């Protein structure tokens, strides 16, 4: 945590200084930014998720994100878009829809079950979650 962040937490947000957050949707195969949303610092990542997916033209094969996107509305939006969902459940995650339900298994629950069987590291490799780092490279290029 930097000095500015510490000061903000202790004294509150100043009148002059605040920051913006840039949320990006990246095509990991090409490194191209396909969607972007700018928000104030009080908006969480999951609140912009739907806007990011709506900003993408064409088909979405896979949606990868960190644990901040482990929310029901994020899974539902990605499912509507027909995308494979590789969002790691939180460490203390519980099953949302148990196996005795008549509906189709929830993608998050399938991810969680697989993590419990083979471990988080192997799940990340099997699911393609490790490809998320390619989008992080796009952010690094943007900053540089």
Residues 6+ apart with CB under 8 A from 96: 72, 106, 108, 109
d(CA 136, CA 121): 18
7 or 26: which carries more pLDDT confidence? 26
Q: What is the pLDDT of residue 1?
A: 58
Per-residue pLDDT tens over the stretch 22-60: 888 888 888 888 899 999 888 888 899 999 999 888 888
- Mean pLDDT, the chain, rounded, equals 83
Per-residue pLDDT tens over the stretch 56-115: 888 888 888 888 888 889 989 998 999 888 888 888 888 787 666 677 778 888 888 899
User: Contact 65/74 with Cβ under 8 angstroms?
Assistant: yes
pTM: 0.74
Per-residue pLDDT tens over the stretch 9-26: 777 766 666 788 888 888
Spans of all domains in the chain: 3-137
Cα distances (angstroms) measured from residue 64 to each of 15, 56, 103, 127: 36, 14, 24, 10
| pLDDT above 90 coverage of the chain, percent | 15
């Amino acid at each position: 945590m930097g000095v500015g962040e510490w000061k903000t937490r202790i004294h509150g947000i100043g009148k002059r200084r605040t920051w913006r957050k840039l949320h990006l949707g990246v095509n990991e195969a090409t490194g191209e930014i396909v969607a972007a949303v700018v928000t104030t610092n009080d908006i969480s990542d999951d609140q912009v998720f739907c806007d990011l997916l709506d900003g993408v033209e064409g088909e979405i094969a896979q949606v990868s994100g960190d644990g901040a996107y482990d929310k029901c509305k994020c899974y539902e939006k990605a499912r509507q878009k027909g995308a494979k969902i590789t969002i790691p459940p939180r460490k203390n995650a519980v099953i949302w829809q148990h196996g005795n339900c008549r509906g189709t298994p929830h993608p998050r629950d399938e991810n969680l079950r697989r993590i419990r069987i083979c471990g988080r590291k192997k799940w990340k490799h099997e699911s393609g979650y490790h490809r998320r780092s390619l989008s992080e490279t796009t952010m690094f290029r943007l900053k540089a």
